[in-house]
Chains A and B, each alone.
Chain A
């Protein structure tokens, strides 16, 4: 399609999307949309909330689950050691733990005290001990469970290198309510942060071991709860068929063994249900028009517009929902040349990238890789950016682009080399629109490009995460943190030692010694403040290489019915926190 036509189309698209933000204020810090952040206090008890979702959960097993929908569910049924309050995505709050994490001065020992009086739900029913948390973490290393992040975050435990489901020496339980983590490196601060993930939710060994013996483990279909809610199950504890009908529904009921005395959370709702398989268009409309409903999927742009214009208190734009960036392959020409990379970054209009997704309400134009809510964001420069000239102007800067093209050896400002760039993006609006903008920017700089738009899992598995596919530009990649520690955003994404022949997370294949060294230092920093400044340094260095062009810090929209008081989990893309939400 000729260039002017693409431009016209893109302009038309951004014009319609811009209608959404017509009435939005012009505050530079961005606003959270119409509904505001909520801490959940003062809600009404009772009632039932139904969530509509087009996608099923991946797993109900706290030792496996990792997707945001699953995390949302498990936050209601499982109590990990620590958690985030819905309105504060940065600071840990003790959940199963009795108090803050104790980190030794050398950073190699983490001690956590566990509350008494917390019980497993039926059919186990007994009190939770530190040994249950120990088993929960150990089973993550069991190949039948194969937890995706166990070796990443708990790999420094003494004995973890050889662990395969059996006891790990570094996890010690001096008594029923104390758990001690012994580490081979001073990464206790990281481990403490990592305990918000559900792997640290207790699992009763005597009940779970028979399930874990099967390959793959069947514990997910028989999971036991410790939180205020549990999956409806039969008398033997099997949830498959009652609480969970694959692809159709999930039902939560109150956990009779949960004691409000051990938990600061209100748990207003009596029952929670998911209806799986609804088409997003229809489900969104049902939610907006109905009662007692919330949408678990990201709403389509049309729905966002409708909600924003007609039912503004039913939509919330959750900040800090993740970052989006365009990765440039630094391992092969032409983007092994840093000047060319910076030229592209300077030429890209990041405001337009945001506009085609819906404008101001949908997020903030990004200037580095740590994003709001992640530790170290402010230290790296916050919303002002790190100060590099090629990202200084959100709408792009032709003069700076020209400067870098000249520095790269193209005095005309246009690339004259022969290489044809492989650009692989996501199919479907608005992601495809963003890919088109990046593609257009490349062509304006004189590059010849071959743009391919594919489905998300294919984009990663067959192109962007596969070095031998030799893709030059991946405009639609992005990162969502695992928890507040900045290591979860920067390490795997930009550390040279994580370049893998397949399932490669370091998409730009950045292998810069300065960056690697800075990461090595930051990994071992002890204490939140030290880590924040160390990782902020990494962020600035990574940004300076131009290996990836950050363009958006997402605000994830969420919608719910008029009679629902949804308390959004800022740490989890704004999903309604089921333990704090209520009906009006």
Chain B
């Protein structure tokens, strides 16, 4: 097991280098703004433009720029400085990470707590009104665009602009250490909104898996043993049906930790997603590179964790 993990980690590092190279290439090849030009404004003379380019280090050859970036990263753990704000990329990422983690972890809790019972119940009571209700709700959750859902949530429940002022509105995020209660209430709506699509998808997935599992032979055996229906459904059925969902959830968590842009934007949460988006708008290459690498890191780690978890959850995989 240890050798396996080590191999995966090393391969992950290789992937990160590839990702950074790809980001570099994409940024310079595809049509986007020129950071020097953005800085300079439209009526800057070519001389000024050249000066700005030089001061940002953009006048060197592309391979040279990339090499500098790579060596700084590997040798000094230095991700460079943001063109736009002059702050170090590392400090910006660290500043924004807690908000994204808060948002992601809370959303996961919500979606697991809601999706699992719904999935199981709608599978067990397939065809009844409960099932139809949850199917309809799931359809809504999957189709509703997150941004729109967020706006609707705010227009309904925000205490500053909502019809039923219940919860803090956009922009009221505070770190956990500053004011735990405010942190919690300000994140309720974002959690619900972010979790909605996932809940719907996972509930449907679980329902489909459960229906399949409940018709398997070992469920018949469990019933033949005289186990209570509850035990059959939850310990035998759910246990088998949930394994693919765990792996999927792990990947989704990895992705979300890279930043949920739309939710962060509509609720004004200062997370990695919005940082990435702003960086792209400003053609702030070092920051783009930093956020992309961070997101890639999370996805790679999530992949490794998920593979290990899968081996733990399904013993048949271990011998392979």
A and B touch in the complex (CB under 8 A): yes
Inside 8 A of A221's CB, which chain B residues have their CB? Answer: 86-87
A419 at the interface (CB under 8 A from B): no
Contact of B169 among A246, A286, A457 (CB under 8 A): A286
Contact of B170 among A64, A278, A457, A465 (CB under 8 A): A278
- The answer to whether A143 and B51 touch across the interface, beta carbons within 8 angstroms, is yes
- The answer to whether A457 and B33 touch across the interface, beta carbons within 8 angstroms, is yes
**Contact (A275, B44) CB under 8 Å given A52-B171, A144-B55:** no
| Nearest-neighbor residue (CB-CB) of A458 within chain B | B31
- The answer to whether A151 and B45 touch across the interface, beta carbons within 8 angstroms, is yes
- The answer to whether B160 and A289 touch across the interface, beta carbons within 8 angstroms, is yes
Inside 8 A of B275's CB, which chain A residues have their CB? Answer: 247
Tell me, rounded to whole Å, the shortest Cβ–Cβ distance linking B28 to chain A: 13
A517 at the interface (CB under 8 A from B): no
B84 at the interface (CB under 8 A from A): yes
Contact of B43 among A279, A289, A458, A505 (CB under 8 A): A505
| Nearest-neighbor residue (CB-CB) of A463 within chain B | B31
| In the complex, per-residue mask of A428-472: 1 if CB is within 8 Å of any chain B CB, else 0 | 000000000000000000000000001001101110010000000
A332 at the interface (CB under 8 A from B): no
- The answer to whether A245 and B95 touch across the interface, beta carbons within 8 angstroms, is yes
- Tell me the dominant secondary structure on chain A's binding face: loop
- The answer to whether A56 and B85 touch across the interface, beta carbons within 8 angstroms, is yes
Q: Which of the candidate stretches B11-19, B262-270, B292-300, B301-309 sits at the interface with the other chain?
A: B262-270
Interface centre among B42, B54, B169 (most CB of A within 10 A): B42
B48 at the interface (CB under 8 A from A): yes
- The answer to whether B266 and A282 touch across the interface, beta carbons within 8 angstroms, is yes
- The answer to whether B268 and A279 touch across the interface, beta carbons within 8 angstroms, is yes
- The answer to whether A146 and B52 touch across the interface, beta carbons within 8 angstroms, is yes
- The answer to whether B55 and A215 touch across the interface, beta carbons within 8 angstroms, is yes
A216 at the interface (CB under 8 A from B): yes
| In the complex, per-residue mask of A280-310: 1 if CB is within 8 Å of any chain B CB, else 0 | 0111011001100000000000000000000
| In the complex, per-residue mask of B38-70: 1 if CB is within 8 Å of any chain A CB, else 0 | 111111111111011011110000000000000
**Measured CA separation A36–B42 after assembly (Å):** 32
B21 at the interface (CB under 8 A from A): no
Inside 8 A of B56's CB, which chain A residues have their CB? Answer: 216
**Measured CA separation A31–B318 after assembly (Å):** 77
**Measured CA separation A151–B267 after assembly (Å):** 42
Contact of A247 among B267, B270, B283 (CB under 8 A): B270
B101 at the interface (CB under 8 A from A): no
Interface centre among B44, B47, B87, B275 (most CB of A within 10 A): B44
| In the complex, per-residue mask of B19-33: 1 if CB is within 8 Å of any chain A CB, else 0 | 000000000000111
Inside 8 A of B85's CB, which chain A residues have their CB? Answer: 56, 240, 244, 246-247
B243 at the interface (CB under 8 A from A): no
| Nearest-neighbor residue (CB-CB) of B45 within chain A | A151
Inside 8 A of B54's CB, which chain A residues have their CB? Answer: 143, 215
- The answer to whether B42 and A503 touch across the interface, beta carbons within 8 angstroms, is yes
Contact of B34 among A244, A278, A461 (CB under 8 A): A461
Inside 8 A of B170's CB, which chain A residues have their CB? Answer: 278-279, 282-283, 286
- The answer to whether A462 and B48 touch across the interface, beta carbons within 8 angstroms, is no
Inside 8 A of A99's CB, which chain B residues have their CB? Answer: none
- The answer to whether B161 and A149 touch across the interface, beta carbons within 8 angstroms, is no
Inside 8 A of B42's CB, which chain A residues have their CB? Answer: 460, 465, 492, 503, 505
A66 at the interface (CB under 8 A from B): yes
**Measured CA separation A155–B78 after assembly (Å):** 38
B interface residues, how many (CB within 8 angstroms)? 50
**Measured CA separation A217–B56 after assembly (Å):** 10
- The answer to whether A220 and B33 touch across the interface, beta carbons within 8 angstroms, is no
Tell me, rounded to whole Å, the shortest Cβ–Cβ distance linking A517 to chain B: 21
A248 at the interface (CB under 8 A from B): yes
A58 at the interface (CB under 8 A from B): yes
Inside 8 A of B87's CB, which chain A residues have their CB? Answer: 221, 240, 246
- The answer to whether A278 and B171 touch across the interface, beta carbons within 8 angstroms, is yes
Inside 8 A of B157's CB, which chain A residues have their CB? Answer: none
**Measured CA separation A247–B47 after assembly (Å):** 30
- The answer to whether B55 and A143 touch across the interface, beta carbons within 8 angstroms, is yes
| Nearest-neighbor residue (CB-CB) of B266 within chain A | A279
**Measured CA separation A285–B274 after assembly (Å):** 20
- The answer to whether B41 and A146 touch across the interface, beta carbons within 8 angstroms, is no
8 Å CB interface, A126-165 against B? 143-144, 146-152
| Nearest-neighbor residue (CB-CB) of B40 within chain A | A148
**Measured CA separation A264–B86 after assembly (Å):** 34
| In the complex, per-residue mask of B253-279: 1 if CB is within 8 Å of any chain A CB, else 0 | 000000000000111101000110010
| In the complex, per-residue mask of A211-224: 1 if CB is within 8 Å of any chain B CB, else 0 | 00001111011000
Interface centre among B45, B54, B57, B95 (most CB of A within 10 A): B45
19 A-B pairs in the complex with CB atoms less than 8 angstroms apart: A56-B84, A58-B282, A66-B41, A143-B54, A144-B55, A146-B40, A151-B47, A215-B55, A215-B57, A216-B56, A246-B82, A279-B265, A282-B154, A285-B154, A285-B161, A290-B160, A290-B161, A465-B42, A503-B40
Closest 9 A-B residue pairs measured CB to CB? A457-B33, A246-B85, A143-B51, A148-B41, A146-B51, A148-B44, A146-B52, A285-B161, A216-B55
20 further interface pairs, Cβ-Cβ under 8 Å (given A146-B52, A277-B268, A461-B32): A56-B278, A58-B84, A143-B52, A151-B45, A240-B86, A246-B87, A247-B92, A247-B270, A279-B267, A282-B169, A282-B268, A283-B170, A289-B161, A454-B31, A457-B32, A461-B31, A502-B46, A503-B44, A503-B46, A503-B49
